[in-house]
């Protein structure tokens, strides 16, 4: 029955009750304060190498955040994007391209990027096999070219753009092969299984320093312009206090053993807008 002074009152009261009932079901969830905290690292090298190198990270975060830390290395980039999308990991360390893909599918917040050479940027390189006489990017014509993961920035997106700038189109001028990881690309070029390959300059430099790759067998053909570094992200629904602890843990990090695992000098704040340049390149290449 309607209220004599406000005929719409019962319907309004009913709508308010329905709203109160439906709000908890509308996707609003309690803020997460997980223990263990699952931290995913990008599988840009052999998984065993990544896990061994980053044991100091586990110890540092466990002590700093006062909780158990579970390190996750997925089988490939797309698996990491999906794990983040479905909340199976809480903090993740992406490459720029895989981050933009994850951001389009998951409620995540970028908060830091590694600093190397004093800047939160890095470069890709295209390398060539010396014995096969590969001296320039143009020598890719008619050759096999190795890339890492299809969702890799510095082992696919950037090197492919460098080859296109040299007038070479994949599938027409050269044959592309995806090997999954940066180190696999460098080894394939050194062994002559691919004439050229694209990968991260920091990873290539590290492989040379460790004696895995010899500059007597492989040469750098070209370096890219700087791009924003790998971002660290967290799930948006984490407890605000925990978010701040995580930010502080990375932005204030001065543990040399942990930084060595990231091949970093430190971490700097980053925003989603810093990766628009990657989105633009992705559109340009039609990827």
Domains with residue ranges and CATH for the chain: 37-118+228-285 (3.40.190.10), 124-225 (3.40.190.10)
Residue 96 banded pLDDT, cuts 50, 70, 90: very high
Residue 21 banded pLDDT, cuts 50, 70, 90: very low
The beta strand positions in the chain, using DSSP E, are 37-41, 69-72, 91-93, 108-115, 121-122, 124-129, 144-147, 175-178, 196-200, 218-223, 227-228, 231-235, 266-268
Q: Which residue has the tokens 């696919």?
A: 156
To 10 degrees, what angle do helices 96-103 and 77-85 make?
A: 30
SS3 5: coil
To 10 degrees, what angle do helices 96-103 and 276-285 make?
A: 90
Convert the pLDDT of each residue in 2-20 to its tens digit: 444 444 444 433 333 333 3
Percent of the chain with pLDDT over 90: 80
Its pTM surpasses 0.85? no
Q: Say how far apart CA 200 and CA 137 lie, in whole Å.
A: 16
Q: Say how far apart CA 275 and CA 65 lie, in whole Å.
A: 28
For residue 28, the model assigns a pLDDT of: 37
């Amino acid at each position: 029955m309607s209220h004599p002074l406000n005929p719409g009152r019962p319907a309004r009261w009913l709508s308010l009750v329905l709203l109160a009932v439906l709000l908890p079901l509308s996707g609003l969830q309690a803020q997460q304060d997980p223990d263990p905290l699952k931290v995913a690292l990008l599988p840009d090298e052999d998984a065993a190498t990544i896990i061994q190198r980053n044991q100091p990270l586990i110890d540092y975060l466990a002590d700093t955040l006062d909780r158990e830390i579970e390190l996750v290395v997925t089988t490939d980039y797309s698996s990491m994007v999906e794990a983040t999308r479905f909340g199976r990991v809480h903090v993740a360390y992406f490459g720029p391209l895989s981050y933009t893909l994850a951001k389009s599918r998951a409620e995540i917040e970028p908060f830091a990027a590694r600093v190397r050479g004093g800047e939160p940027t890095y470069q890709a390189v295209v390398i060539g096999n010396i014995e096969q006489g590969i001296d320039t990017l143009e020598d890719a014509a008619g050759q096999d070219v190795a890339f890492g993961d299809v969702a890799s920035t510095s082992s696919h997106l950037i090197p492919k753009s460098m080859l296109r700038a040299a007038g070479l189109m994949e599938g027409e001028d050269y044959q592309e092969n995806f090997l999954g990881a940066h180190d696999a690309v460098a080894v394939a070029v050194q062994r002559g299984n691919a004439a050229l390959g694209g990968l991260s300059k920091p990873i290539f430099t590290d492989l040379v320093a460790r004696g895995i790759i010899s500059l007597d067998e492989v040469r750098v053909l070209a370096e890219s312009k700087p791009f924003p570094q790998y971002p660290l992200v967290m799930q948006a629904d984490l407890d605000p206090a925990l978010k701040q602890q995580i930010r502080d843990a990375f932005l204030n990090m001065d543990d040399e053993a942990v930084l060595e695992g990231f091949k970093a000098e430190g971490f700097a704040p980053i925003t989603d807008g810093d990766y628009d340049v990657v989105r633009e390149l992705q559109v340009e290449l039609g990827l």
